[in-house]
Structures are given as structure tokens and as C-alpha cells.
Amino acid sequence: MGIISQRLHDQGIVLPPPIQLPNGPLPIPWVHVVGKRVLISGHGPGNSSGVYSARGRVGAEVSAEQAHEAARATAYTMLANLQRELGDLDRIAGWVRVFGMVNCVEGFDRIPEVINGFTSVILEAFGPERGRHARSAIGVAELPFGIPVEIEAEAQLV
């Protein structure tokens, strides 16, 4: 077991199984490795059953606290897909950037707090040097399947 996997295990975190999406017209990969760059498609929250229960807009059907937890769950889903693709999370030398989208009502301005859920998982797992990343967080009117949070990222391989 690698260092990152061990840290997750020590925290009692079990990475979720792959999320099964409805068939789309194109087979878009969750993780695309180009040289030392790891481009990570937009991920939503998952859990041990593969599907996260909170659905809707933050500030209406979903609270800011629930959305923060959804962002944490999104990190676990992303880490699970990275582990499946790379074989070992220790191959990640560092995180480059994160782009978080929050499905929220007009006037909801706590978007960075929501995406902090994702960032905290990455920092906890990879530490302050490897986990450090540039980040943007925006509010949007809708996200696929009614999920409250979607996050894409880029990392770099060792």
C-alpha cells in the first residue's frame, strides 16, 4: 500500500466504486494522462454505493454544509478514478489546479467554502506541498443529473 493510500486508510476512508453514468455518445475518460500531465474530467460526488444522495441546488434543496460534504465525496470519487487509472496515488507528484462548480441559487456566495471540502481532502491525503494547487470556484445554474458539485482538476506525475 502506498503512502497516500495508507493515509486514506488510516482516516477510515474507503474510496467509492466507479460511478455508472447513462450511456453517452462518446467514451470520455475520467482521467487522461498526457506525458507527466494528468487531466481529470469533471467529477461529481460518489459514495460506497457509487451514487451520492444529495441532489439539487445549494441554498434551496441542499445546504452549504451538505454541499461541503458533497465536495469531499467528489474528492474521494476523483481519487478512486485516479487510483484505478494510475495504479498508485503515489505516482502523483503534485496537484496543479482545481476548478470547482457549485449548482446554487442566485445570491449564494459561499461557493469557496463549499469547494474547501474538496481542497481539504487533497491536502489531508497529499500534504501541504504535494496537495497545494491553484483553484477557481464558481456558481452555476445547473449541473448534470442535479448534482450539487462538480470538480475538474490537473495533477502532475512523478
140: helix, strand or coil: strand
73 domain residue, yes or no: yes
136 pLDDT higher than 70: yes
CA distances from 79 to 26, 83, 158 (A): 23, 6, 16
pLDDT tens-digit profile of 17-69?
877 666 665 678 899 999 999 999 999 998 766 566 789 999 999 999 999 99
Q: Distance between CA atoms of 77 and 34, rounded to whole angstroms? A: 21
Between these two residues, 21 and 96, which has the higher pLDDT value? 96
> Structural domain of residue 114, as residue ranges?
30-157
pTM of this structure: 0.93
Min mean pLDDT across 25-29, 126-130, 150-154 is at 25-29
- We report the CATH number of the domain holding residue 136 as 3.30.1330.40
- The pLDDT value recorded for residue 52 is 67
54 domain residue, yes or no: yes
- Total number of domains constituting the chain: 1
74 pLDDT higher than 80: yes
In the numeric block, the cell 451514487 is attached to 51
Report the candidate in 100, 135, 129 with the shortest Cα–Cα distance to residue 3. Answer: 129
* pLDDT (average), residues 4-22: 86
**Whether 118 contacts 71, CB under 8 Å:** yes
Report the candidate in 23, 17, 71 with the shortest Cα–Cα distance to residue 44. Answer: 71
63 domain residue, yes or no: yes
65 domain residue, yes or no: yes
- Bridge partners, 155 (sequence order): 38, 95
16 domain residue, yes or no: no
12 domain residue, yes or no: no
18 domain residue, yes or no: no
User: Where residue 73 falls among pLDDT bands split at 50, 70, 90?
Assistant: very high
Q: Residue 58 burial (CB < 10 Å; 0-12/13-18/19+)?
A: buried
109 domain residue, yes or no: yes
**Would residue 146 be called left, alpha or beta, if left means φ above 0 and alpha means ψ between -120 and 50 degrees?**
left
112 pLDDT higher than 70: yes
